[in-house]
Amino acid sequence: MSVGSMITQLLGGFLMTVEIFVLTLVFSLPLGLLVSFGRMSKVKIVQLISKVYISIMRGTPLMLQIIVVYFAPYYVFRIRVGSGYRFPAVILAFVINYAAYFAEIYRSGIESMPVGQYEAAEVLGYSKLQTFVRIILPQVFKRVLPPITNETITLVKDTSMAFTISIAEMFTIAKQIGAAQTNIMPLLAAGVFYYIFNLIVATGMEGLEKKLSYYR
């Protein structure tokens, strides 16, 4: 196989990797915020459910979660699913996994805010919702951006876990080419793709962090 043909195939897998990455962030970031509200809720049952959910998602391997999400419809509900369910299953597993991590990041950011912020907003006549949306959330986002960046970089590498249920993302294709050609070059090329993707993500997040640090 020529180098050009190998790169073309890896690019096809790379597009799948990017798709998993983007969809996971789009859904897990807002879901994580909702879960963090549940984690901080004064309603004990809601708080307990949120804590158990976070504990399970963070305490079990992502690979196992992908397998459970994919096979659960059949073994739990006896619903037969075809190969078309593989991609939605991967996205669902990634979203519920990363939402748990983002939830704890959001929680730490929200709970780190000084009580004086809320008191000042109340004096100014802001409602609780206005206080959170206009005053607290923007500051929380600035504070949690570094740990979110770390999780985002981890997500780039974790997309390779999609091979668990035969999703042809970049790492899977690299392994297939490498096995067929008995050559390690496809895996090294995939490593370069991952590094460049991570470099782009890290640079973009660093630029956003600097843009938000307007008091420095």
Q: How would you write the pLDDT of the chain (216 residues) with one tens digit per residue?
A: 677 788 888 888 899 999 999 999 999 999 999 999 999 999 999 999 999 999 999 999 999 999 999 999 888 888 888 778 999 999 999 999 999 999 999 999 988 888 887 888 888 888 888 888 888 888 888 889 989 999 999 999 999 999 888 888 888 888 888 888 888 888 898 899 999 999 999 999 888 888 877 545
pLDDT value at residue 1: 62
pLDDT value at residue 6: 80
d(CA 6, CA 2): 6
pLDDT value at residue 7: 83
Burial group, residue 22, by CB count within 10 angstroms (0-12, 13-18, 19+): exposed
Q: How many CB atoms lie within 10 A of CB 44?
A: 8
- Under 8 Å between Cβ of 174 and 186: yes
State which amino acid sits at residue 38.
G
Q: What is 3-212's CATH topology?
A: MetI-like fold (1.10.3720)
pLDDT value at residue 3: 74
State which amino acid sits at residue 78.
R
106: its two tokens:
């959001």
d(CA 199, CA 104): 25
- Under 8 Å between Cβ of 25 and 13: no
Q: What is the pTM of this model?
A: 0.89
d(CA 8, CA 14): 10
pLDDT value at residue 29: 95
